[in-house]
Each structure stands twice: as C-alpha cells, then as structure tokens.
Amino acid sequence: MNGRITTGWVDIAGMTAYTALPVGVRRPVGVLVAGEIFGVSGYVRRMADRLAGLGHAVVVPDFNHRHDLRAGVTGGPKGRVVELPADAAGRERGLELAWLLRREQVLSDAGAALEHLRQVGADPAAAVGFSLGGHVVCSVAGELGLRAAVALYPGWLTGTQLPLSRPVPTLELAARAAGRLVVLLGADDPIIDAGQQRAIAERLETVVFAGAGHGFAADERDSFHADSAREAWKLIEEVLGRAGE
C-alpha cells in the first residue's frame, strides 16, 4: 500500500457496506467494489484496502442485504452482512443468493453506494468487480455513467440465466458504457468458455491471460495465478488512475 487508510462499516439506507478511505487525499476517485458470490468477504475487503492504499475512496456494498443471512454473518453497523467461506458449501449458498438478486435492485444499491462516496468527499467515478461482482460492475458501468470500470472474470454476461442478466444480457448493457470498461479473463476459465470469451471480446475491451482460470486474482485460493494477478493489478491501477485525470 502506498498510503494510510481508515476502514469501517456504514449503513447506507439500510444496506451494510464496508468502506476503506485514504488519509489526506483531497477529492479522491471513488470506487465501488463488488465482490464474488461469497459476499463482503475478508478477501474482498483486503482488495478494497489495497485500492484505498493507492489513494482511492472505496465502498463495498452488501448486495445480499434484502435476503436471508443465516448462512454467514460478520461485523457491521447492525452486526449482519453476508460473508461466506470460499469452499463448496459457501459456493452453493452463494449461488442460491445470486439467483435472488434483481438487476434493478442492484443498480439502486450501487447508485446509493456511489452517492455515499460523493457525500464523504470523493468523486464517484469508478468500479471494480470480481466474478459475480464483475457482472454487477458491467451493469453499473452501462447504466450509471462511470468514467472507468474493471470487471475481473465476470460470469453470465452473454445469456439471461440470472435475474441480474434480464431482460437483456448484461453484455448488451455493458456495451453502452460511456466510460472505459475493461474485462479481464483467464484463458482457461471453465465458467467463461472460449465462445463466451469471444463474444465478450467482440463487444468490450478485453484482456485474456494465458494459463489463468477463474478467480486468478484470489491470492488465498488454489485458483490464484500470480503472473496474471500482477498484470491485472497494473491494469486496474492504470484504469483507475486515468479516471482521476
């Protein structure tokens, strides 16, 4: 990290969110971070802290706040936020929750989170998302007028399987983004196959990392691919850095 940060939990209109803010940075770029199906996990909070250390103001909403939280809770202003383990049981529960998310609700929550960044003195201009969160970021970039966004291995972009991807595939929304949207994919991703990767690359600025699979930036899991993660973070820093110019 390049600078000091402060972290904490906030309540945004009844939605719990984690925040990481740089110390001593005047009007930082505000970044919405959307996590994987595991929720506001320790890994995603560390990534938020990493972005804040680069001088950005970061908010990580709990997009599952409308739904049953019995599967996992952690600290927050109300003591409840979804945080699932990155194992088979966590994936199963995370997928159940993913099928409860609705596009219009997620966009509303994202808008509220970006407005919170504005209220704390940031310029809410950017977003970074991981896996399911990458899908969310593609929707947000297409609908909410961000200047910069990076989506890492976003699943389900090309079809309408998820409620999040209806009524039109999220790839169609993402293609409308006014600002820069970069999609980062692993060439060996079993979830986003070669056909999907081609369809994404035809519509969006896309970087594909050889030898990487799904979740290649998750440094605490077997899917971690160090070289790809290093290059991905260089791109994230570049894209977000230009958002502040």
Inter-helix orientation angle 132-143/103-119, to 10°: 70
Average pLDDT taken over every residue of the chain:
93
pLDDT digits (tens, 9 = 90+) for 126-146: 999 999 999 999 999 999 999
Question: What CATH number should be reported for the domain whose range is 5-243?
Answer: 3.40.50.1820
The per-residue pLDDT for 3 is 76
The model's confidence at residue 55, banded by pLDDT at 50, 70 and 90, is very high
The domain limits of the chain are 5-243
The per-residue pLDDT for 2 is 62
The per-residue pLDDT for 71 is 47
The model's confidence at residue 88, banded by pLDDT at 50, 70 and 90, is very high
Q: Pick the more confident residue, 85 or 115.
A: 115
Q: Pick the more confident residue, 66 or 119.
A: 119
Mean pLDDT, range 36-58, rounded to an integer: 96
pLDDT digits (tens, 9 = 90+) for 67-77: 855 545 444 45
The per-residue pLDDT for 201 is 98
The per-residue pLDDT for 81 is 84
Choose the weakest-confidence range: 64-73, 102-111, 236-245: 64-73
pLDDT digits (tens, 9 = 90+) for 189-233: 999 999 999 999 999 999 999 999 999 999 999 999 999 999 999
